[in-house]
Structure 1
Amino acid sequence: MAENKTQPTTQDVAAFLAALEPAQRRADAHAICTLLAEISGTAPVLWGSIIGFGRYDYTYASGRSGTAPRLGFAPRKAQHVIYLMDGFDGHADLLARLGKATTGVSCLYVKKLADIDVAVLTEMARQSWAMMAARYPA
């Protein structure tokens, strides 16, 4: 079975963040990184271009297994992608209060932090972290 492409690295997260352009994207990425580190109580680790917090092991019904970050984000060129592993089912109230963002299955897409309510993002990230801790105890 093929190995997952996204693996933890020993690359320096601070250097990765410092290299982001433009300045607003870099500032937003620093703020998201600080927020997720506070929620998780873990240091950030680069998983390719994803900044991950914590980790968990999973196995799908198909037998495919791997390790992934419990919480994370990727400062992409067009927008920040915040990975909330519990997804968005049952979070309509939070999404309605969040502000200008779009979603995928477990991805929250934010162009800039000024477009959203960071307190709502904080609650969403806390709920995702708690769900992952319950589902995949350390």
Structure 2
Amino acid sequence: MSPRENKTQPTEHSVAEFLAGVEHPVRRADAQALDTLFRAVTGFNPVMWGDSIIGYGRYHYTYKTGREGDFLATGFSPRKSSLSIYIMPGYGEFQGLLDRLGKHKTGRACLYVNKLADIDTDVLAELIRAGLRDLARHWPVEPT
């Protein structure tokens, strides 16, 4: 890996095996439900990125600095402390949707949810679609 490549890369690991291996039963059920939701909303097959991120779609970016690479278009990771949901290039434009979502926290491109029961998954589906539309305005999104 060159120093300019992303640390997180797509792998050949099985998404189904990864999901089945999530230890906590509620987190595992939530992760399986998220997989179903992301597949339905995006129409993309999931791919493991690194050891713990499930990605749907991908995009190639080139920054003004010349740095370029590939990354997942959207996805999630069932972390021990919360579900991390990734919307690229971030949540800055989606405050109205976030206000309707339910209990969550945000980072720049991460949405943290303790459990799916805390949020409205219909609003999450809207957020995923809006994120993909926003990303496609910057870089073309390709299926996985």
Both structures adopt the same fold (TM-score exceeding 0.5): yes
Structure 2 stretches lacking a partner, 5+ long: none
Percent identity between matched residues is 52
Match of 1:72 in 2: 75
Match of 2:15 in 1: 13
Tell me how far 1:84 sits from its aligned partner: 0.8
- Counterparts of 2:136 and 2:41, CA distance in 1: 12
Tell me how far 1:60 sits from its aligned partner: 1.6
Match of 2:124 in 1: 121
TM-score (norm 2): 0.90
For 1:1-138, list aligned pairs within 5 A. 1-2=2-3, 3-48=5-50, 49-137=52-140, 138=142
Identify which of structures 1 and 2 has the higher relative contact order when contacts are C-alpha pairs closer than 8 Å and 6+ apart. Answer: 2
Cα deviations by residue, 1:92-133 (Å, 9 ceiling, x for unpaired): 221111111000111100010000111111100011112223
TM-score (norm 1): 0.94
- Counterparts of 1:62 and 1:34, CA distance in 2: 37
What SS is found at the alignment partner of 2:34? helix
- Counterparts of 1:36 and 1:15, CA distance in 2: 17
Q: How many residues align?
A: 138
- Counterparts of 2:65 and 2:136, CA distance in 1: 23
What SS is found at the alignment partner of 1:10? coil
Structure 1 stretches lacking a partner, 5+ long: none
Distance change in 2, residues 1:37/1:135 (3 Å): same
Tell me how far 1:65 sits from its aligned partner: 1.1
What SS is found at the alignment partner of 1:54? strand
